[in-house]
Every structure is written in C-alpha cells, then in structure tokens.
C-alpha cells in the first residue's frame, strides 16, 4: 500500500513527500538514493547468510538496518516487511522468517526500480 500522494497505488516511492521531508534538497535525496542502492545488496546478503545459519540475533540486526534505510524513503511496505522479519528473527521463527525474507527481497526490488526511475535511470 503506497502512501498518499503516490502516483500509482503500487508505487513504493513518493518523491514529492521525500523532497518535502528533505527541505527540497534534490542533491541530498540523490546522495541518499546512491547510498541505499549501494548498501542494500550487502545487507540482503548478510540477511540471507544469517537466515541460512539460523542466527536470529544477526538477522534481527540486519532487518532493523534495512527497516531504517527503507524508512528514509517513506517506503512503508518495505518497512513493514522488514519489521516483521526482525520480529521473527528475534523469536527464532526461521520458517516465517524465510517466507518474509522472500517478501522483503521483492519489495526492495520494487523500491530499487522506483529509486532508479526517480534518478532518471531506465530500468527493464
């Protein structure tokens, strides 16, 4: 579910709200996007490793970091899924964590596409 002001119901990014939140600083937004795009693959790899190793503490830590990063972009669905993953990891519920990890990867891919589009990069 996208926030109010999104162009499409399935758009995970509300650029206008983001720019408003950043005081209209498009350069800062661009820098935040670049940081997010470079760190997300590393975080996902760490989360997958922690899940494989059934390391709930590490998985919760990484999910929390992903939640914060997605929150910077007001990506509410990604935040919600990362929060769920964090909770499952803390509970040691790796079966649900595995399912939730798949959901999180899909949502982060949607966010990545939206961020690329926001930067003017064509995506397939």
Residue 54 belongs to a domain? yes
| Residue 77 resides in a domain | yes
Domain count across the chain: 1
**Does 19 reside within a domain?**
no
Lowest mean pLDDT among 31-35, 90-94, 100-104, 114-118: 114-118
40-55 confidence digits (pLDDT tens): 999 999 999 999 999 9
Residue 47 lies in a domain: yes
- If you average pLDDT over every residue of the chain, what do you get? 87
State yes or no: pLDDT of 104 exceeds 50. yes
Q: Which residue, among 105, 103, 30, 41, has the nearest Cα to 73 in the 3D structure?
A: 30
What pLDDT digit, counting tens, does each position of 12-31 carry? 777 788 888 889 888 998 99
Within a domain: residue 34?
no
33 within domain boundaries = no
Give the residue ranges of DSSP H helices in the chain.
Answer: 15-21, 26-52, 56-71, 76-91, 94-118
What is the domain range of residue 60? Answer: 41-118
Does residue 83 form part of some domain? yes
Q: Residue 71: inside a domain, yes or no?
A: yes
- CA separation for the pair 55, 48 (Å, rounded): 10
Between 24 and 86, where is the model more confident?
Answer: 86
């Amino acid at each position: 579910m996208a926030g109010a002001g999104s162009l499409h119901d399935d758009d995970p990014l509300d650029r206008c709200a983001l720019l408003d939140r950043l005081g209209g600083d498009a350069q800062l937004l661009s820098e935040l996007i670049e940081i997010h795009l470079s760190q997300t693959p590393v975080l996902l790899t760490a989360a997958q490793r922690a899940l494989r190793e059934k390391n709930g503490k590490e998985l919760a830590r990484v999910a929390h970091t992903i939640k914060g990063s997605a929150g910077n972009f007001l990506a509410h669905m990604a935040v919600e899924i990362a929060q769920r993953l964090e909770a499952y990891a803390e509970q040691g519920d790796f079966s649900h964590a595995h399912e939730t990890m798949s959901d999180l990867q899909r949502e982060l891919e949607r966010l990545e596409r939206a961020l690329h589009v926001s930067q003017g990069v064509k995506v397939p």
